[in-house]
Amino acid sequence: MTAKPRLAYIAQFAHPGTYDQSKWVRVLGRDDETIGFKALLDSSGLADAFEYIGVSAHQGEAISLDYDVAVLGGSFASVTDDYPWQREIQKWLTAWRRTRKPLMGICGGHQQMSVNLGGHVGKIPEGPVVGSLPVDRTEAGRRHFLFQGFSDHAPFFFGNFEHVDNAPPGSITLAMRHGLPHAALDYGGGWVSVQFHPETTCDRMATCWAELDPEQSRRYSFIPDCQRMVENFLRHALEARCENARVSAILRNG
């Protein structure tokens, strides 16, 4: 029997002690995003396709190269905070890139990946982008597997003070919106990332802002099926894995 591919969700939620845990008691999984991501897998019908591993990198849990596909989540922390666990993520990204295995970055993960590959992250001049907001796809984005099944100007959950203001060399911008010129990127080699949150729910996003700025919490509304983007990434990773296995078998058998 062929082993299931190992899927890791790597959480970098916040540096311990920098947020109020009591705000999260009514949210699924509380402040443990690995539980929320497992719920996404269960609801999508993809749970049986993977062996799932949740990693809380911000709490010092080690990140392995022994996965087949990975998702790097968002964070309250800025990429410039330079916490020890952020440095470990950067080391892991460099090593993971050499494996040529697929990776999807979300929000802080998007920024970590961009910085790792030579891009730059800066403050949004107009202030934070918050709410259930549409994105504008580029021509490349309209053809890209991430956006399969989405309409033009489909909304997603945003909540960020910083953004990728200079994309890494060789990357392709898939989507943008006012003030965010690189809201989604394809870096090649199976790496993609988005500034917004397709993996989460409006209650989780509103809870994030309940501590930072309660008035901003009102900007979130329910978005049906935005998690489809994560499903698109995972299905694409499965298809690529099958194709690689097929090619390897052909080469072995001549």
Structure tokens at 207: 């809870």
* Sequential DSSP letters for 116-177: HTT-EEEE-TT--EEEEEE-EE-HHHHHSGGGTTPPTT-EEEEEESEEEEEPPTT-EEEEEE
Pairing of β 51-56 and β 6-11: parallel
**How long, in residues, is the chain?**
254
Domains of the chain: 6-253 (3.40.50.880)
Residue 190 identity: G
Q: Which of 230, 86, 88 is nearest to 157 (CA)?
A: 230
Q: What is the pLDDT along the chain (254 residues), one digit of tens a residue?
A: 468 999 999 999 999 999 999 999 999 999 999 999 999 999 999 999 999 999 999 999 999 999 999 999 999 999 999 999 999 999 999 999 999 999 999 999 999 999 999 999 999 999 999 999 999 999 999 999 999 999 989 999 999 999 999 999 999 999 999 999 999 999 999 999 999 999 999 999 999 998 889 899 999 999 999 999 999 999 999 998 877 665 455 546 65
Q: Which of 33, 1, 2 is nearest to 238 (CA)?
A: 2
Q: How far is CA 129 from CA 19, 85, 175, in A?
A: 20, 26, 15
